[in-house]
Structure 1
Amino acid sequence: MKAARSDPKTSITRSDIWYEDGSVVLQAQHTQFRVHWGVLARQSSFFHDMQGLPQPPDQPSVDGCPVVKLPDDIADVECLLKALYSPTFLAQAALPLPAIGALIRLGRKYDFRDLLDSAVRRLEFENPKTLEEYEALKAPATNGKTYNPTRIVGYPGIMIDFFTLARENDIVSVLPCAYYRAVAHYIPLFDGVPRGDGTTASLPPKHLRRCILARDKFISARFQEGYPLGWLKKWDHDSDCANPAKCAQARSARVYSCLDLDPLLNLYRSDEDQKVLCSACYRHATESIRAGRKKLWEDLPKFFDLLPWSELKNDL
């Protein structure tokens, strides 16, 4: 940052985003950014309309450029301008979540529609609406059991921060997946999660309560007929079983292993069952699990008292 000018009351700081041929100065708190009306107006209907308004006689100016004061966070404004002026900014494979938040907040507020849509797409990519997209986010290096963000820079507590950003900006399409991850991956919801920078990601009481209640619902539903583990409780496929006694024992052992290892194993896979069930029973179990996983995903919003997938429309 470089010092620009000062007065008896405040010290104004000039941002590194300062174009000598700029035609307007944006000021957030005590930091100024000299940019171009044309760049702002081309992307934002808000600034397009503002540019056409007559300037009041007492309009503050810097080097002949009008000063437009914004009641926004400096970091948010800086992020927005980087996205507008730097071709490589949005081309990055992964952006920090604070940058995504800045583009969503200011994109909504000032109608930078392209930037807003781009940021929302990243959030939706990490929290998809389909089971197939969810599965694609699992890291192959860990046998498909770990989620690693790819379009948003990951850190401890990011799943909790997904909630806050999505809720504050009415991006409801991402909530079922984000909620499920938080509940199913044993995030210490009551204590919050240290982000590693001295702050803690935590859920507001309302959302904490929703997660706790949903966890109880998941535990209650896990062995219900139609869900991924329902086949372990209700078995009606002995007709072509090659070894009924062995397969029955294997199913019983699987029930206890699911209880011991993961009480929320609702998106259970059948890989291990191939080793202990006969081919006919394994085929039946695989079909039941596939159908159950699909049903669970379709019902996922219901566990968190959300609208069905088809009705989760973002208010942007």
Structure 2
Amino acid sequence: MTLDSRSTKRRRVSDSPQTIVILPPGQSRKPAKGQEQFTRHADFWLDDGNLILIAGDTAFRLYQGLLTKSSAVFADMFATGSADATETFDGCPVVRLPDHPADLGDFLQCLMPCSEPRLYDGLPVSDFAELHAAIHLAHKYQCSHVETRVLSVLKRYYTPHFTDYVRYSTSKPHMLAPARSAAVAAVNIARLTETVSMLPFALYHVCALEGRMMDGYKRRDGSVEYLSTEDLRLCVGARNILAREMPSLVKTVFQKKPSPRCKTAERCAAALVDLRDDVELNSLGECNVLDSFEDIIETWAAEFELCMACKKEMLDREVTARRELWELLPDVFGMSIKSCGFTSTVE
């Protein structure tokens, strides 16, 4: 199932529509015969709005002019009369949409913010599900400025730039780091929007799912989004290539010889041997070669009293080794560094 496969046409409940009843949030009552009951959206119910959208069991009251100005699809619907409503509520035309109400709310929040944003270190931040929904509907309803804005956030995480990657966890992100499974949807978004720069890192995350890469990404409405056959085949082949790089990476980073500046060589040598053996054992068959070893190094350095010189050199080797692997990533997935805009420098 692709992201833009759902119809944008109105759906009729029946040939003889029932009377629409729209209740405030938190209220409910058994509808009378001939009534169809919905709940106002907590944020997107504007008392002076002149258009009502219904998605699932939720009603949204909005400004028709703002919606049609922002969305080519809605503009065409109203211009051609294809959205002339046979249903009305409180003098407003009612248009039924097939979208999940939470998805529609996330799209509208990007289009016309009406709720308080989630904050992280004082800055607005979204999660992947919200952005996935927003870009899905922005593309479907041809709302280009919302699509562009959401893509700019996604591209900061699924980035072509090594510097952005290594600093993401310590920066002030606009998106909370998503679960690995979100990479399946990220690949599909990149394909849908022709955003090639997202593909290598998103495909890498799919590879790290191992057997779960075929499970897909579960949407809010319960449907599951899968990779295309071509991308799945690409990830299976790339996973083997990346797994073969892991032993070399471990040997490069976790050298057993202490630093020339080490003043506790005997103690550090023993610690380095133990650390190397542990990492080699736990990385067998793994393909997540870009994942940082920094936490492991910091933990072992403290536990085994590894000197600062040995620890620093190990951390430096770790960044250098990952940067070199980063440069290989586009080629692993059959792309070029130039076509993806990949950069590997560390500022």
TM-score bracket, normalised by the shorter chain, equals 0.5 to 0.7
Scaled by the length of structure 1, the TM-score of the pair is 0.65
Gaps of 5+ in 1: 141-148
Matching residue of 2:27 = none
Matched, 1:83 2:107: no
Cα displacement (A) at 1:109: 1.5
Shift in alpha-carbon separation, 1:153–1:276, aligned structure 2, 3 A: closer
Provide the aligned C-alpha RMSD in A: 5.0
CA contact (8 A) 1:11 1:30 kept: no
Helix, strand or coil at the partner of 2:169 = coil
Number of the residue aligned with 2:281: 260
Give the alignment of 1:256-295 within 5 angstroms.
256-263=277-284, 264=286, 266-267=289-290, 291-295=320-324
Residue aligning to 2:94: 67
Match of 1:22 in 2: 49
Report if aligned partners of 2:72, 2:142 keep a CA contact under 8 Å in 1: yes
Indicate how the Cα distance of structure 1 residues 44 and 309 shifts in structure 2: closer, same or farther if over 3 A, else same: farther
Of the candidates 184, 188, 208, which is equivalent to residue 163 of structure 1? 184
- Please name the residue that 2:175 is paired with: 152
Question: What secondary structure sits across from 2:160 in the alignment?
Answer: coil
Count of residue correspondences? 289
Q: CA deviation at 1:98?
A: 2.4
Judging changes above 3 Å, is the alpha-carbon distance between structure 1 residues 46 and 232 closer, same or farther for their aligned structure 2 residues? same
Taking the TM superposition and a 5 Å limit, the aligned residue runs for 1:1-316 are: 3-4=21-22, 11-16=36-41, 17-29=44-56, 31-51=58-78, 53=79, 55=81, 59-62=85-88, 63-89=90-116, 92=119, 93-138=124-169, 150-153=173-176, 158-168=179-189, 169-170=192-193, 171-181=195-205, 183=207, 189=212, 206=229, 210-222=234-246, 229=251, 256-263=277-284, 264=286, 266-267=289-290, 291-303=320-332, 305-312=333-340
2:153 & 2:57 partners in 1: Cα distance?
31
Q: Whole-Å Cα distance in 2 between the matches of residues 132 and 178 of structure 1?
A: 16
Which ranges in structure 2 are unaligned for 5 or more consecutive residues?
A: 1-19, 24-30, 342-347
Q: Which residue type is aligned with residue 86 of structure 1?
A: P
- Partner SS for 2:183: helix
Give the TM-score of the pair, scaled to structure 2: 0.60
Percent of residue pairs bearing the same amino acid type: 21
Relative contact order higher in (CA < 8 Å, ≥ 6 apart): 2
One-letter code of the match for 1:164? A
Q: Distance in 2 between matches of 1:85 and 1:283?
A: 48
